[in-house]
């Protein structure tokens, strides 16, 4: 890890009218670190993720991102063109529902290649070669490259979405319940794959999940949210093995023991 | 009905000024779709209401009008629009490309090279090249604004992946002056190369969609492609069955119920000129 955080968040707040989305969120994310945000539904996890990824405009606080060139930029004041460029080069966003993150009407190859074309690659053979390489890395057979995502199973769609996001070698990936709605064996394979990719590529990840097992497997650090605020944070093992807040204790003790 | 009860060229002067302002803005930003308050015209949408309004706004008493529909001067749409302007503007009309000062066209560019001073008015059904890739107009406007055109190449990628080549044969997307991606209206891609660096002024009117856009004279118009799958136009094996022209766009004409067919020039004026040896020809 280098000596500067890739993302610095201070006093982030978002309200929906009179209702609180999230408030008083401050943390640093370091290069190569995986941060899990856990909490029950309605606790503000997704609002936080959307604010961080600039899909939602925050109402207060600041998010400072360390660009590739080392400069530190406040995302709130970054022009939209630059922000979009960042989102399709330096960042990835993996949605819970793959249909939200994929272009369902075009083939798997085009889904993976879209980011390359968006940043100016105009060589069909090269784009296709890269797409094939990425499909194999997420364990999708090469002969499915011209099939659309509609012909794919839920697990394959999710892996395709991951490939589509990682093709431009991003440094920061946001994940919103990436294993939600998948059966456990598919979940396990996907988690295994994501763990390998995160380690190999040195990705920084912010993953939102309500599944503590996913958090334990993937993340280095955990933030527990309740009613829009962070109530506890710490190393994953510490939080899960020695929860301090009553709510975190409840959350941890709610995992059914097999 | 007495034609004299109409204002010159049918539209009232305020409307023509509004359309001219839109045209000027379109010329200032080549390829950018300028919204305008399209009027109801005495013809159905899809029959060239946008083109007619642009023609009405730019035509003057001294102009000579030519109207083509798929290259032909003698189809219903072309004949009636020509008659319409003869009646409401009293302008001279012609079928010869070289004699015309204003040419309204549906889905073709004449074979005979256009020259300075001529205006080509296209009838446009769907002005948004990204429409079928991104249905939200709010989003496509942002994409144009930020020059976010990766999606356009996704379509071409899909063509190659499924057909082995870029199968788009008409309404082939172009980039104008290195900036805006534009739908050249449903002309065959055979005509795309005629758009670039054309000495003539090219105006596009979409009546139902209420958009005007333009390509000023001598502006670069580049058809989108891949480095290893460059843009190419249709080719025909045989020359025109009537005039023998090669390197022109041909229509297939079915002759009988037994599979008989012939390929003839889509541009009827060019074909006739070549056969009669009169007028300018390519």
Among all residues of chain B, which has the CA nearest to that of A127? B157
CA torsion, ordered B72, B77, B79, B84, to nearest 10 deg: -140
C-alpha span between A135 and B183 (Å, rounded): 33
Q: Dihedral of CA A187/A189/A193/A199: which sign? A: positive
pLDDT tens, N- to C-terminus, chain A (258 residues): 457 899 999 999 999 999 999 999 999 999 999 999 998 888 999 999 999 999 899 999 999 999 988 899 999 899 988 998 899 899 999 999 999 999 998 999 999 999 999 988 999 999 999 999 999 999 999 999 999 999 999 999 999 999 999 999 999 999 999 988 788 888 888 898 888 988 899 899 999 998 888 999 999 999 999 999 999 999 999 999 999 999 999 988 887 765
Nearest to B161 among A109, A115, A119 (CB): A109
- CB of A80 within 8 Å of any CB in chain B? yes
Catalytic residue among B31, B50, B205, B207: B31
pLDDT score, position A210 = 85
- Judging contacts by C-beta atoms under 8 Å, the chain B residues touching residue A109 are 157, 161
> In this predicted structure, what is the pLDDT of residue A257?
65
pLDDT value at residue A62:
93
Give the count of beta carbons closer than 10 Å to the beta carbon of residue A48.
Answer: 27
User: With 0-12 CB in 10 A as exposed, 13-18 as middle and 19+ as buried, what is B273?
Assistant: buried
* Phi, psi at B256, each rounded to 5°: -155, -170
Report, as ranges of residue numbers, the positions in chain B whose pLDDT lies below 50: 1, 3
CA distances from B103 to A35, B123, B254 (A): 64, 11, 28
Contact in structure between A167 and A127 (CB atoms under 8 Å):
no
Which candidate from B148, B155, B157 shows the least CB-CB separation from A124? B157
> Is B213 buried (19+), middle (13-18) or exposed (0-12) by CB count in 10 A?
buried
Q: Could you tell me which chain A residue has the CA closest to the CA of B148?
A: A118
Q: Which H or E run contains A63?
A: strand A60-66
Predicted ipTM of the assembly:
0.85
Size of interface A-B (CB pairs under 8 A): 56
Q: Which CATH homologous superfamily contains domain A30-90+170-258? A: P-loop containing nucleotide triphosphate hydrolases (3.40.50.300)
CA-CA-CA-CA dihedral for A143, A149, A150, A155, to nearest 10? 90
* Domain spanning B3-223, CATH architecture: 3-Layer(aba) Sandwich (3.40)
Q: What is the pLDDT of residues B211-249, one digit of tens each?
A: 999 999 999 999 999 999 999 999 999 999 999 999 999
pTM recorded for the entire structure: 0.86
Is B243 marked active-site?
Answer: yes
Residue from the list A80, A115, A127 with its beta carbon closest to the beta carbon of B157 = A127
* In chain B, domain spans: 3-223, 235-282
Q: Specify the pLDDT at position A2.
A: 57
B161, B173, B228: best to mutate for the A interface, most A CBs within 10 A: B161
């Amino acid at each position: 890890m280098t000596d500067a955080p890739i993302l610095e968040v201070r006093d982030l707040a978002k309200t929906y009218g009179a209702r609180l989305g999230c408030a008083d969120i401050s943390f640093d994310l370091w290069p190569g670190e995986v941060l899990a945000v856990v909490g029950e539904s309605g606790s503000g996890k997704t609002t936080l993720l959307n604010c961080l990824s600039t899909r939602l405009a925050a109402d207060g606080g600041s998010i400072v991102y360390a660009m590739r060139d080392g400069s530190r930029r406040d995302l709130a004041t970054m022009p939209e063109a630059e922000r979009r460029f960042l989102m399709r080069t330096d960042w990835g966003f993996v949605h819970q529902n793959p249909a939200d993150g994929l272009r369902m009407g075009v083939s798997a190859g085009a889904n993976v290649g879209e980011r390359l074309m968006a940043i100016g690659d105009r060589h069909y053979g090269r784009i296709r070669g890269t797409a094939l390489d990425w499909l194999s890395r997420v364990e999708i057979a090469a002969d499915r490259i011209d099939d659309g995502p509609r012909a794919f199973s839920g697990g394959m769609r999710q892996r395709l979405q991951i490939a589509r996001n990682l093709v431009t070698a991003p440094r920061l990936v946001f994940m919103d319940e990436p294993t939600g709605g998948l059966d456990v064996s598919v979940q396990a394979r996907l988690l295994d794959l994501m763990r390998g990719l995160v380690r190999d590529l040195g990705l920084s990840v912010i993953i939102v999940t309500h599944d503590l097992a996913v958090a334990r497997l993937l993340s280095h650090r955990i933030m527990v949210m309740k009613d829009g605020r962070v109530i506890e944070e710490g190393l994953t093992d510490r939080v899960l093995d020695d929860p301090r807040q009553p709510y975190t204790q409840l959350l941890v003790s709610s995992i059914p023991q097999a | 009905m007495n034609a004299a009860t109409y204002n010159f060229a049918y539209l009232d002067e305020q409307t023509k000024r509004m359309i001219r302002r839109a045209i000027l803005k379109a010329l200032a930003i080549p390829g950018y779709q300028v919204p305008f308050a399209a009027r109801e015209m005495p013809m159905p949408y899809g029959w060239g209401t946008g083109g007619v309004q642009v023609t009405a706004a730019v035509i003057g008493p001294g102009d000579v009008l030519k109207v083509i529909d798929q290259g032909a001067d003698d189809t219903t749409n072309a004949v009636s629009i020509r008659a319409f302007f003869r009646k409401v503007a009293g302008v001279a009309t012609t079928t010869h490309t070289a004699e015309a000062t204003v040419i309204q066209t549906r889905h073709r560019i004449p074979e005979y090279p256009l020259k300075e001073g001529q205006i080509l008015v296209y009838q446009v059904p769907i002005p948004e090249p990204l429409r079928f890739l991104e249905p939200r107009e709010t989003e496509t406007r942002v994409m144009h604004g930020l020059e976010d055109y990766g999606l356009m190449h996704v379509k071409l990628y899909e063509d190659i992946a499924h057909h082995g080549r870029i199968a788009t044969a008409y309404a082939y997307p172009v980039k104008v002056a290195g900036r805006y991606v534009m739908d050249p209206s449903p002309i065959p891609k055979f005509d795309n190369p005629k758009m670039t660096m054309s000495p003539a002024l090219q105006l596009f009117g979409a009546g139902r969609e209420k958009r005007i856009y333009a390509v000023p004279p001598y502006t670069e118009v580049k058809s989108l492609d891949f480095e290893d799958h460059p843009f190419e136009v249709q080719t025909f094996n045989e020359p025109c069955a009537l005039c023998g022209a090669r390197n022109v766009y041909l229509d297939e004409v079915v002759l009988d119920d037994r599979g008989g067919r012939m390929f003839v020039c889509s541009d009827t004026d060019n074909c006739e000129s070549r056969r009669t040896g009169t007028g300018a020809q390519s």
